[in-house]
Amino acid sequence: MNVGVVFSIILSIIVIIMVLALGSKQIIDLLGLSNTALTKKAIQDLSTTANRVYSLGEGSTLKFDLTIPGNTRFCFIDPENPEANIDPDPDRRWRPDNVIISIIQEKQYNIWVYGDGFQEGYRIEHLQPAENFCAKSGTKLFFTNNGLTVGLTD
pLDDT category at 52 given cuts 50, 70, 90 is: very high
> For residue range 88-146, what is the model confidence (pLDDT) as tens digits?
777 777 777 888 888 888 888 888 888 777 788 899 988 888 888 888 888 899 999 98
Q: Which domain holds residue 43?
A: 3-153
Average pLDDT over residues 56-68: 87
Average pLDDT over residues 58-85: 83
Q: Report the alpha-carbon distance of residue 20 to residue 118 in Å, rounded.
A: 27
The answer to whether residues 113 and 67 touch, using CB atoms and an 8 Å cutoff, is: no
Domain count, the chain: 1
136 beta partners:
none
